[in-house]
Structure 1
């Protein structure tokens, strides 16, 4: 599948995990099959916009939030470390995000 499919799947997983939801619970909220949710999260299924909208609603987030900071692949030049870091952070719990931010700030102080 495409890189975009992978990115959206990771974001869905991150939002779901931060809310403490199982795939089963999200599937029930969305009216979708649990197997389908898993396939979307792993980037194995290219979900329709209707399904993406149902998933976003099940997560209680807007489509804007789900798709924020995604640039077209053609617009990228070289490694996209900020996006990769953002994707990594999206999958973590709030406390883990805070710890990593503090570590990053300390590392930057050491390099200046």
Structure 2
């Protein structure tokens, strides 16, 4: 069987926890059953496209975010950037601006 359901389930769990939601809360927002969310997170169910769309919308992420770098090469630029984006997108816009400013300061310092 494909690893894809397990990988997607792990990503759903990660995004859910980053948002501070329980499985029940995510299920309520996505209009799905909490048992189904648990099965998705454990990779026990092959999710329908409709349910994946509902979960992504409830998590306030794009489908691209959910599927980004499913089979990543940890040494690739794409993987590194996707990790940065994944971590930042769960932060408030205020925090994102702070991180951007810190990045600019670091880059300026490094380029001296």
The equivalent of 1:20 in structure 2 is 20
C-alpha RMSD over aligned residues: 2.8
**Could you say what secondary structure the match of 2:29 adopts?**
helix
Alignment of 1:40-79 (within 5 A): 40-71=40-71
Correspondent of 1:82 among 74, 77, 80: 74
Where in structure 2 are the equivalents of 1:3-14 lying within 5 Å?
3-14=3-14
Separation of aligned partners in 1, 2:44 and 2:15: 18
Q: Which has the larger radius of gyration?
A: 2
Moved over 3 A (4+): none
Gaps spanning 5+ residues in structure 1: where?
Answer: 72-79, 95-112
Q: SS of 2:74's equivalent?
A: helix
How much has 1:70 moved relative to structure 2? 1.8
- Residue aligning to 2:104: none
Q: Output the TM-score relative to the length of structure 1.
A: 0.64
Aligned length: 83
Structure-1 residue corresponding to 2:30: 30
Distance in 2 (alpha carbons) for counterparts of 1:63 and 1:16:
14
Partner residue in 2 for 1:104: none
Higher relative contact order (CA 8 A, sep 6+): 1
Cα distance, 1:81 vs. partner? 6.7
Q: Quick one: distance in 1 between partners of 2:74 and 2:8? A: 16
Q: Which runs of 5+ in 2 are unaligned?
A: 81-85, 92-112
